[in-house]
Chains A and B, each alone.
Chain A
Amino acid sequence: MKPTTTTKYAVALAALAAITALPVAAQDSVTLITNSYRTGGFSGSGIPLGNGMRDYIALVNAKGGVNGVKINFEECETGYDTKKSVECYEQAKAKNNILYLPWSTGATLAAIPRLHVDKTPLLSMSYGLSAGADGATFPWVFNPPLTYWDGASVALNYIAGKEGGMDKLKGKKIGLIYLDAPYGKEPIPFLTNMSKKHGFELQLYPVPAAEMQNQGALWLNIRRDKPDYLYSQGFGAMSPTAVKEAVKNSFPMDHFVSVWWAGGDNDAQAGGTEAKGYKSVTWHQVGTNFPLIQEVIKEVVDKGQSLTEKSKVGEAQYNRTVYQGVLVTEAIRNAQKLTGKKVINAEDMRRGLETLEITDARWKELGLEGFAAAMKVTCGDHSGHNKAFITEWDGAKWVKASDWIAPSTDEVLPLIAAAAADYAKTDGWPKRSEACDAK
């Protein structure tokens, strides 16, 4: 008897159902939900950031997961809106998310008070609340590999290096162009301290969020003041506009240094070839010249499982979330080792993050030799204040332009301790009750 079309469809459907149903039942898995913003005014940064993480996790899963445990990876769209981020947090909590990745300062600040109640760790990779680095006050917050204060410190050390020492900064003018929001204002207390100590003049150039794309008047002031160096704490549409204005006002681009979030490919591209020399502090390499990134291309991108174009793999922001992916999977690995469980929960994840250490040898094992400096988080120090370097835009791509530079931790740590103590004054803020793990 010839099978009818209906029978064929039915068989095919049954087979499909069997295929899709089986692995779910058989495989151990953990749930990881990240906030993302592929829509809205910040999507220019949000899309490459989302793609890097997504592709890296796809590769990990394709290779069988972390010690055989798959990662159920989901994105929750926020449009960089705090209201929606709060909603995403609630949703993720209901799905037993092991780690909250807020991806905006607003979302981080809104989540921090709830973490110890919900027993969910939060990883804000070099953003969010700098004071969160204080592990004794914020056991559930992690912000490796370095804070904004470390970033400003690295930039200052680099500038001092170029001038021939910290003492040569005396009498110089350093401008800070920043987004007029808590995020943008982060480096001010640190730079103010340093300006008093080293005798340089700090000039502030705030960019209101509504005026991100309209900085003409501000740059007239910059032209008048002629700062020797300019440090940018910008984000979203503000950074490419600043680069464009700097080119237009013929500001010497090699004296223009930015924080990592203003160092995306799209930020520098706005100035075209004339933006050559624009610098950014960063903690990881760009490009695809790493075995792991090649593997991502081969196993994920070439197989059509990625949302990104192949040419955009290896861009600054793409690689940044590959770095984040490595932190997450290494922390899961740690947590598995510490607890002896395969399927870990959020509380185990916190312990995994707290003992996170990636040595140069481990980076090499991962197929990312030279991608980033060795990094380490401890029980008391949830940032690690790890090394970073300066990268320079050569007109078409970012190239490494300095050695690894360590932030001046002796300047940063007291600020963090003070800010954490200030936060802990809030009524009802709990004392740390979580024990520290030995490595």
Chain B
Amino acid sequence: MFYRENGQFNTTYAEDMAVFPIRQDRIGLALILGVAAIGVPLFGNSFFISSVMIPFLVYSLATIGLNILTGYTGLISLGTGAFMGVGAFACFKLTTAFPNVNIIFWILASGFFSAAIGMLFGLPSLRVKGFYLAVTTLAAQFFLQWCFIRIPWLYNDSASGAIEVARRTLFGFPITGAQASAQTRYLVLLGIVVFMTWIASNIVHGRIGRSWMAVRDMDIAAELMGIRLLPTKLTAFAVSSFYAGVAGACMMFLWYGGGEANDVFNINQSFNILFMVILGGLGSLVGSFMGAAFISSLPTIFKFGLPAIGINIGGATAEHLTFMVVGALIVIFLIAEPHGLARLWQITKEKLRLWPFPH
């Protein structure tokens, strides 16, 4: 009744090709952004922001990164955790070497380092596919993780082997380090995520994105149509790793605020993000957000949300429950709805258009 495009006419080509052609979608998006940018920092408490919203945004960014590779280009990667690590260490090295440059600049720049590493490990993708590619990216994961421990230069020879996040400011407000409030860190992160999602949306809807999807659907056909496979696959690796790297830098600098990088950027992290992609929906940006929201918030909801409404389950039980629910959902989604939450959302929207007279 409310969600339909009756009476909305496109009079230009640009309007016709818009990402959100329906007015209600645009209003909805503006509403969500408004709530995220104003409502959450204003009304959310610091626990909610730092333990629910910030992890959600960081994971969204990483999931978009992997989705570009796996969902849009059809190349499987199990090295996302390590590529995030490259971003975190690059950002750490850059900001300790050049402390006067703004940290946001370095967070974004660190993506280039992981993009370079990602391209290097993406080279075999021209020859190997499917499981074999998964294995080569697994090698990247283990090799890079080994580097994070074994090259003391990466963590400035600190005895603890940990990244120490120093205080960095923006317009005089501390945005990293212990003095930075959850609200400021959240707003900076939100800015980065919105900006990068906008870029990603433009890439996947443009020429590059279409060539990725052509390669995904059938690489021989794509080649016959004049798409060069090597550059296409390598750009997918580069862009994907870029996003992962920025997500890793955000994770260390805006969420954890320092710590032992090795136990953060491990193989579990890679799998976790792959699950987010699968559950959210392969080849969908909105799905990336949904998958990240679901998997990153579920444990928190079980552990802290249920006791808050009076259902007192132990921490260990909550942990087991999370494993079971996520595991079961992945199996169910792979069988029943391989396109994930994004597809469910799309079906809901189609149904809504016809509601309440589906004839």
Q: Which residues of A contact B (CB under 8 A)?
A: 36, 38-40, 75-77, 79, 81-84, 86-87, 90-91, 93-94, 105-106, 109-110, 112-118, 129-131, 180-182, 185-186, 189, 208-210, 419, 422-423, 426-428
Contact = CB atoms under 8 A, between A and B. Distances in A.
Given A77-B318, A91-B304, A427-B167, A82 B47 contact: no
B178 A77 contact: no
B245 interface: no
Interface stretch (B10-18, B255-263, B279-287): B255-263
Given A86-B51, A112-B258, A129-B160, 5 more contacts: A110-B258, A113-B177, A181-B260, A423-B159, A428-B166
A93 B166 CA distance: 22
Contact of B262 (A77, A94, A112, A182): A182
Interface residues of B, number: 46
21 contacts: A76-B315, A86-B259, A87-B300, A87-B303, A87-B304, A90-B46, A91-B51, A105-B260, A106-B259, A106-B263, A110-B257, A113-B177, A114-B178, A114-B257, A118-B178, A131-B160, A208-B146, A427-B177, A428-B167, A428-B174, A428-B178
Contact of A38 (B174, B260, B316): B316
Which residue among B158, B168, B259 has the maximum number of chain A CB atoms within 10 Å of its CB? B259
B319 A113 contact: no
Nearest to A115: B178
A65 to B, nearest CB: 22
B164 interface: yes
B294 interface: no
Contacts of B24: none
B162 interface: yes
Contact of A94 (B46, B161, B166, B259): B46
A117 B179 contact: yes
Contacts of B34: none
A112 B162 CA distance: 11
B320 A39 contact: yes
B159 A82 contact: no
A428 B103 CA distance: 14
B45 interface: yes
A32 to B, nearest CB: 15
Contacts of A181: 149, 161, 260, 262-263
Contact of B299 (A38, A84, A114): A84
Nearest to B141: A210
A419 B257 contact: no
Contacts of A180: 149-150
A105 B262 CA distance: 12
Contacts of B146: 208
B55 interface: yes
Interface string B146-174: 10011000000011111011111000001
Contacts of A113: 164-165, 177-178, 257-258
A111 B179 CA distance: 13
A182 B161 contact: yes
A70 B304 CA distance: 23
A90 B264 contact: no
A426 B51 contact: no
B50 A90 contact: yes
Contacts of A419: 159
Interface string B225-238: 00000000000000
A84 B150 CA distance: 25
Nearest to A112: B258
By secondary structure, the A interface counts as helix
Given A82-B256, A105-B260, A182-B162, A94 B177 contact: no
Nearest to B319: A39
B299 A182 contact: no
Nearest to B264: A82
Contact of B178 (A79, A116, A209, A422): A116
Nearest to B300: A87
B327 interface: no
Nearest to B45: A94
Given A181-B161, A182-B161, A87 B178 contact: no
A346 B167 CA distance: 24
The 5 lowest CB-CB distance pairs between A and B, nearest first, are A77-B315, A428-B167, A182-B161, A110-B259, A427-B166
A102 B168 CA distance: 26
Contacts of A426: 164, 166
A409 B39 CA distance: 55
Given A113-B178, A180-B149, A189 B159 contact: yes
Contacts of A129: 160
B267 interface: yes
Interface string B261-285: 0111011000000000000000000
Most buried by B among A81, A87, A114: A87
Most buried by B among A91, A109, A115, A131: A109
A289 to B, nearest CB: 31
A39 to B, nearest CB: 4
Interface string B21-45: 0000000000000000000000001
A77 B263 contact: no
B333 interface: no
B309 to A, nearest CB: 15
Contacts of A76: 303, 315
A36 B319 CA distance: 12
A7 to B, nearest CB: 25
B99 interface: yes
Contacts of B130: none
A40 B318 CA distance: 13
A182 B160 contact: yes
Contacts of B174: 428
B191 interface: no
A110 B315 contact: no
